Structure 1
Amino acid sequence: MKHDGVWRAIKVQNPDWNLKVATMTCRRLNCGPAVSAVNRPKYPQEDAWWIGSSCRHSTLKQCVTVNHQQISDSLDVTCSDSVRLMGGSHLCSGRLQVKWNQVWSSVCSDGFDLQDAEVVCRELGCGSPSGFKGKLYGEAPEWNTEFLCGGHESGLLHCDHSDRDTCSPGTTITLTCSGAMRLVGTNSTCAGELQMKVHAEWRPVVDEDWYQNRDQNWTSVVAAVVCSQLKCGSVVASDVEDFGSKRPVWWIESSCFQSAASLQNCLGLTDVYQTIYSLQVICSDLLVQPNISVSPSHDEVQQQKVKVVMGSNFSIICSTRPQYPGGSFQLVFTSSSTTFNYVLPTVTHWAVFLFPAAEDLHRGTYTCIYHLNVFSYNFSSTSQSIYLIPSAPLMDLIIRLVVHLLVMVLLITVTCFYFKKKTLSVETRSRNEETNVLTDLQ
């Protein structure tokens, strides 16, 4: 920034303000939203313009403070000048808009696919897409051209596009990216060491409030935000563990979470710190969803209703993807009049519930629930439900069909005979009446 006729790097006194300063910078340069704000090392040390965190002015120049201390790191800002996500809970979610001819326009949802979403999330430095959908807003989307991305492009406006000029659904695409965040080191994506990706580099995350004050409450706040953003349910446990050797880390200012719903908004990143600690998080949706299937086929049930032959043996199979050893399956049966629970231990991640003969009392809804104790906590995961219908064997159906056909033929025959007899009776009566008339005339 140029101040008093001198260009210098910017140093923010409070890292909590990094993203705020970055937002003001990108807006002033008309470069779209701020994607990231990271403290980068500067060697050798040099003078800088310091930005006071207590400043309430609308421009950065009004927030410059006099500080003759030289810096070893300065603020590195990345803006997106062509794509942004607006109105979401954090920088990596919201309504998709593109900038064309200096005008921001919302993008039509029609034809927007996963490849398009991958390009947007990567361009914004927000990891991979975790969900997108069309949504109605107060006004129709202005950008109707369909993007035809292959998924490898560096920017959304670098993708091929169609010549479409209308938006049939009238909805705007709303996109959520993962935010370049992950939990690693376990057999689940919802438990492990918290890592974040900044400028293509993954590093562990340390809660600076815990590091300075050993305040476990702030660590729980961080964990809750992580579980929410990763769509892993609620936080079960969090702790700071000793890795054993120092590593470069990204710092999190968790005290700013009091009203923010985004981890990205509270990054106080720096390249100059290393530590032996890292944040471990366990979320409630630790287990994958189990599968439920019915014999004789062990294929996963694709429809909600399944038929079995009346009187035949059948089995309901509960299974899950290998994550952790052990556990048990609970099969829940619910009908209009009763509810039963059956429990079996898993054998190589399977449990088979045998039924000797299908009867009408087996008609109802079945659901598999996988239970497991891991990390000293109890977890469970529920499959989709199926509705089982015992039906008659094929021969019985054929016999019933033949009987129905015979009954129908008999009814038709009797009906025809009745109407034929009635018709003859009417004709005979008519002839008799004609004969009587002729007799009277003679």
Structure 2
Amino acid sequence: MGRIRRCKKGIQEETVFVRLVDGRYPWEGKVEVFKDGSWGTVCDNNWDMDDANVVCRSLGLGEAVEVSTFKDCCFQDYQDVDEGLNDIFLDEVECLGNESILLDCPHSGFGVYNCNHTQDATVKCETGIRLVGGSNNLEGRVEVFYDGSWGTVCSHHFDIIDAHVVCKSLGHTFALSASSYADFGQGKGDIVLDGLHCTGGESNIYECESDDTNFFKCFHQMDAGVTCSPEDYAVFLVNGSTYLEGRVTVAYQGYLGTVCDTSWDLKNANVICKSLGFGHAVSINDFGPGIGDIILDDIHCVGNESSIFNCSHGGLGVHNCNHSQDAGVTCFGEDVCITGLCETNIFPKGKMRN
């Protein structure tokens, strides 16, 4: 399930009647149901998307995206699939799709089955990450699904790169901001993750490294939040001493990275500055190496383009350089909120890792 170490803090209040186990991520796995104080599996006879949807919706995980059998899927393998496993509780499940929990669906009878654990039903749900408390679906407190319930993310070291991975996993292109201190309200229940350190290339935050050293200092007052962008691309200045300068960082179709300084000149820099709402470029500078992908190289702007992506370049992701050649610019203007960046602060100073 990735390299992340998960920490739990708080009291789980809800009774869980279904869970997913042995998956790579908490929103997929073998289906187990709870009854009379114990857990048992579900046989895959007649198992279909209607049944899987009831499971996913009852967990708050949206719609099901895939159903399969134990033997056909990617979950944990056993030399003897019947040894040490839970009982089989349900078989011949035939949900209509509108039931609230799986136990409400028609089935052959509790504990009545004609199968073995090689036929355990599995499901993959939409996602185990959601945004809560925002004014729309592009923003909110980050909540993650773990061990049958939803929990929050502590904002220790939570920055724009971590936020970018959150937004990308939800189908958005990139993050506009990473927020701390429960800007979208305090969550309830467990605090699940702390000390995230994503590189930007992960498909979800369960693939990111984490450090739970300071987990004991986490409280819901520090719940992390994000604001995602509806746009396909954006340009940011990172690691400068003011909002008018920095290393050029671009987001495009879910990828976050830098621009190589091969053929980099003031015409290119002017396009960057104007697209951000600043004046012309004063100089091209080195603001240190970035991380992530190198998105653009061999850029040749005329100077009147509205975006750096409209300039001639070698192709998205095509480059012959490394991060020691990341391009930077200094724009002309006052260090004020010319375009509102000081307020929304797409890449807040002190929030972006070099």
TM class by shorter chain equals 0.3 to 0.5
Q: TM-score, normalised by structure 1?
A: 0.34
- Structure with greater Cα Rg: 1
Q: TM-score, normalised by structure 2?
A: 0.40
Whose helix proportion is higher, 1 or 2? 1
Whose strand proportion is higher, 1 or 2? 1
